[in-house]
Amino acid sequence: MEFDVAIIGCGRVGLPLALAFADRGLRTIGIENDRERLEAVRAARMPFDEPGAPEVLRGVTDAGAIAWSEHVADAARAEHIVITLGTPSFSHIEIDMRDIRGALDDLLPLLRPGHSLTLRSTIAPGTTEFVAGYLHKHRGFDIGSEVFVAHAPERIAAGRFFAEIVSLPCIVGGVGSRSGEVVGGLFEVFGAPIVETTPIQAELAKIWTNILRYVEFALPNRLMMECEQYGANVFEVIDLINRDYPRGGMKLPGFTAGTCLRKDFTFSEERSPAPGMLLAVSRVHESVPLFVVEGLKRRLGSLSGRKVAVLGLAFKADTDDERDSLSHKLVRLLERELADVAVHDPHVQTPTASFEEAILDADAVVVATNHSEFRGRDVLRAIADSAHRDAVVADPWNAFGAAQVFGYASELQALVPR
């Protein structure tokens, strides 16, 4: 075989992984059908932000350690095949298998004994066994002795790939007698601990890693709404819950979204023995943009013709990733109120206004993403100087340190610790 490893899908999960394999001396081929992204990597340009990736991409390109293709079939030229395709869900709570199944159909006639196939994307329980059964049904392979199939879930945080690929334990759920050993051997190149388990337990561990965070963040968001209802301060209540209390641990509120957290709960909900609980968690998060809009209306009256500055489009601080960000929902809701919306984000690829343009003469300012550029007294002072004197500031992240979800720009500065 010409390559050691092939990565099918060179997005935010697959591309850093391909670079990391190539950087460790494995002959690597990346498969990507997005022409713009493919052109970028072939020119040694990163198509999105990932700290450390531009240097690695240039290094492996100069060394001739990585190749690129738009054809899934070319992945069969490698001994190990890793699938990192997107795994969406249908609107009626069902995993969308079309991309994975399409890749399998392209590979089926080309697979041969010795190949390993690893599912790296988040998948619904039972998907790894489905893939193994699909290969056995259509090609007759004995999975675990002839061809090796495993789930090795991606659990790395956005913007931390090169730090966490070498430190986080790598879970490997293999089908049959030797799949875990073979796929574990591939990922051992990064030096992180390998934890072998069953496919179903690997799938559940990944899904529930994200569900845990989704649920944890729903509680402070629900509390934030209740505090508004009763005229209480959510940040003070959370401090009372947590301060010097061994069973505290309440998180802080904010816009909780992103492509993983917003969809991965559906992979459990699809066949849940207790349906509805996780849907309720989702509804809490999905209600936060409307909560902010209604909070502005209570303080300003009608938003028609009012200028509202939205700071942040990315779903997470200091990244350029807008996928499934609730900021977009906030903008749409504001536009339905006939507000004049000005958006600023210093990280995303979507063109936005400058910070100065966005806040100038604003009637309201919403911190939708807690980028480091939006934190602290100086930013709040700039808003107070440029926005209308009675402008309302919505800061569910407490980015300014004033500990007020809603407040007037002219008054909040006095609440920020010096």
**pLDDT of 410 higher than 90:** no
| pLDDT at position 16 | 98
pLDDT category of residue 1 using cuts at 50, 70 and 90: confident
**pLDDT of 267 higher than 90:** no
Question: Per-residue DSSP letters for 88-117?
Answer: -EETTTEE--HHHHHHHHHHGGG--TT-EE
> Would the pTM of this model clear 0.95, i.e. be above it?
no
pLDDT category of residue 417 using cuts at 50, 70 and 90: confident
Q: How many H-runs (helices) and E-runs (strands) does the chain carry?
A: 15, 15
**pLDDT of 130 higher than 90:** yes
Question: Per-residue DSSP letters for 164-183?
Answer: HTTTS-EEEEESTTTHHHHH
Mapping DSSP onto H, E and C, the string for 46-65 reads CCCCCCCHHHHHHHHHHCCC
| pLDDT at position 418 | 74
| pLDDT at position 319 | 94
Cβ atoms of residues 32 and 9 within 8 Å:
yes
Cβ atoms of residues 304 and 364 within 8 Å:
no
Question: What is the spatial distance between Cα 353 and Cα 372, in angstroms, rounded to a whole number?
Answer: 18
- List the single range of 306-320, 322-336, 401-415 with lowest mean pLDDT: 401-415
**pLDDT of 117 higher than 80:** yes
**Rg (Cα) of the chain, in Å, rounded?**
24
| pLDDT at position 413 | 82
Question: What is the spatial distance between Cα 176 and Cα 341, in angstroms, rounded to a whole number?
Answer: 56
| pLDDT at position 260 | 81
Q: What is the mean pLDDT of residues 1-13?
A: 95
Q: What is the pLDDT of residues 272-317, one digit of tens each?
A: 888 889 999 999 999 999 999 999 999 999 999 999 999 999 999 9
Distances (CA, A) of 400 to 207, 244, 252, 255, 342: 33, 24, 14, 16, 20
| pLDDT at position 416 | 82
Q: What is the pLDDT of residues 134-172, one digit of tens each?
A: 999 999 999 999 999 999 999 998 889 999 999 999 999
Please calculate the CA angle 16-167-247 and round it to the nearest 5 degrees: 120
Tell me the β-bridge partners of 31.
8, 69
| pLDDT at position 271 | 87
| pLDDT at position 94 | 84
Q: What is the mean pLDDT of residues 378-401?
A: 95
Distances (CA, A) of 359 to 281, 355, 388: 33, 6, 9
CA atoms within 13 A on the CB side of 33: 12
**pLDDT of 207 higher than 90:** yes
| pLDDT at position 274 | 84
**pLDDT of 243 higher than 90:** yes
Question: What is the spatial distance between Cα 215 and Cα 212, in angstroms, rounded to a whole number?
Answer: 5
Q: What is the pLDDT of residues 167-192, one digit of tens each?
A: 999 999 999 999 999 999 999 999 99
Compare 113 and 158 and report the one with higher pLDDT.
Answer: 113
Q: What is the mean pLDDT of residues 246-269?
A: 89
**pLDDT of 23 higher than 80:** yes
Cβ atoms of residues 210 and 277 within 8 Å:
no
Q: What is the pLDDT of residues 31-80, one digit of tens each?
A: 999 999 999 999 999 999 999 999 999 999 999 999 999 999 999 999 99
| pLDDT at position 258 | 82
Q: Where would I find the beta strands (DSSP E) of 291-339?
A: 307-311
The side-by-side arrangement of strands in the sheet containing 3-8 is 66-69, 28-31, 3-8, 78-83, 116-119, 148-151, 170-174, 194-197
Question: What is the spatial distance between Cα 360 and Cα 189, in angstroms, rounded to a whole number?
Answer: 52
Please calculate the CA angle 353-335-217 and round it to the nearest 5 degrees: 85
Distances (CA, A) of 100 to 86, 106, 119, 172, 393: 8, 10, 9, 19, 44
Q: Which two tokens stand for residue 118?
A: 């690893």
Supply the mean pLDDT for the chain.
95
| pLDDT at position 34 | 95
**pLDDT of 400 higher than 80:** yes
**pLDDT of 90 higher than 80:** no
Question: What is the spatial distance between Cα 82 and Cα 87, in angstroms, rounded to a whole number?
Answer: 14
337, exposed or middle or buried, with CB in 10 Å at 0-12, 13-18, 19+?
middle
Which residue type sits at 194?
Answer: I
Q: What is the mean pLDDT of residues 231-258?
A: 96
Tell me the β-bridge partners of 341.
308
